[in-house]
Amino acid sequence: MSIRFDGVGAAHPGGKPVLHGIDLCIKAGERVAVIGPSGAGKTSLLRVMGSSLPASTGTLRVFGDEPVILSGSQLKRLRSRIGLIHQSPPLPARQRVVTAVSAGRLGQWSTLRALASLCYPLDIAGVRATLRLLDLDDKLFERCDQLSGGQLQRVGIARVLYQQAELILADEPVSAMDPNLADHTLGLLNRLAAERGATLVASLHAVDLALRHFPRVVGLRSGAVVFDCPASDVTEADLQALYANANIDVADERQSSDLRTQADPPHFSVRSAAPRCL
Ligand SMILES: Nc1ncnc2c1ncn2[C@@H]1O[C@H](COP(=O)(O)OP(=O)(O)OP(=O)(O)O)[C@@H](O)[C@H]1O
């Protein structure tokens, strides 16, 4: 089991609770999309999984450990197994792409090796090979502030792939990419995660991409899970209820996405629950 939520609630420091009574089990190697309207708590849910936002109620286990009771060094070890893909990767502007991607393994290296790698990347061939997967190997020595938003997002993905994270948490990982590139990149991320047996959890606004690429979809609204089932079981009614009164018309959004990508529309069938935790 990668992640297990039992009645988890969470609040940002000084803020109101943003997650309520979350029960969720994600097995090792599963690939799960989290969808829901703006402000539903998708980023907060990923932050709890990544142990940067503590559970305030209930119990969260990541790889069997409860992050809130771990010591500093245990937490560091746990985090080194988790790769975070941010919507806007927090990369220093003047940093070279090769250094930014190398930094994916900082948490796994000794302090000496990590410092040496920041001064001069020690595994340029490995970084280049990872960037090649994302068609970015020609940017190896470019500065991060010379890349487009979509290229930066792909550097962030390369960093996590280079890290060889066991659990990948991706927060809107393709939001800055054009529709074709977003579709291609999400397909690649899913394929590589599946090949490596990594667990992948991604928050997405693009419902069509979530349904097309992820076997399991969790609908989140107002900090609570509204549905949790195989992608093929998500119905129009589920989506309408999830986004009701939000600023998104699901049907229009999907129709325009289909026109953009020329891909098959998602298949809707009878809804069923996700597998229960054992
Ligand atoms: N650092 C923070 N401090 C206080 N409140 C926060 C913080 N970050 C988010 N929130 C609040 O938590 C709630 C959930 O936000 P979150 O970013 O998790 O939602 P989201 O579903 O990812 O939204 P979006 O799709 O717009 O990115 C919102 O009401 C937001 O205002």
Reported as a single tens digit per residue, the pLDDT across 223-267 is 999 999 999 999 999 999 999 976 544 444 444 444 333 333 232
- CA 10 – ligand 1 centroid, Å: 11
- What pLDDT is recorded for position 106? 77
Q: Out of 18, 48, 49, give the residue to mutate to test ligand 1, the one with the largest number of ligand atoms within 8 Å of its CB.
A: 18
Once rounded to an integer, what is the mean pLDDT over residues 19-42?
96
Count of domains for the chain? 1
Examine the pLDDT at 271 and tell me if it is beyond 50.
Answer: no
Which residues face 4 on adjacent strands?
Answer: 25, 61
Q: Distances from the Cα of 99 to the Cαs of 129, 139, 185, 207, in angstroms?
A: 14, 12, 22, 34
Residue 125 within a domain: yes
What is the pLDDT, as a whole number, of residue 14?
Answer: 86
Q: Is residue 273 part of a domain?
A: no
In this structure, is residue 264 part of a structural domain?
no
Give 273's pLDDT tier (boundaries 50, 70, 90): low
Cβ–ligand 1 contact at 221 (below 6 Å) = no
CATH number of the domain bearing residue 23 = 3.40.50.300
Give residue 248's pLDDT.
46
In the reported structure, the alpha carbon of residue 263 is separated from the centroid of ligand 1 by a whole-number distance in angstroms of 31
In-domain check, residue 143: yes
Would the pLDDT of 63 be above 80? Answer: yes
Asked whether residue 148 is domain-assigned, the answer is yes
For residue 101, being part of any structural domain is answered with: yes
Residue 139 included in any domain: yes
Q: Mean of the pLDDT values across residues 123-129? A: 93
43: CA distance to ligand 1 center in Å?
Answer: 7
Whether 123 maps to a domain, the answer reads yes
129-184 confidence digits (pLDDT tens): 999 999 999 999 999 999 999 999 999 999 999 999 999 999 999 999 999 999 99
Query: Which domain, by its residues, includes 121?
Result: 3-246
- Please state whether the predicted TM-score (pTM) of the whole model is above 0.90: no
In this prediction, residues 62-85 reach a mean pLDDT of 92
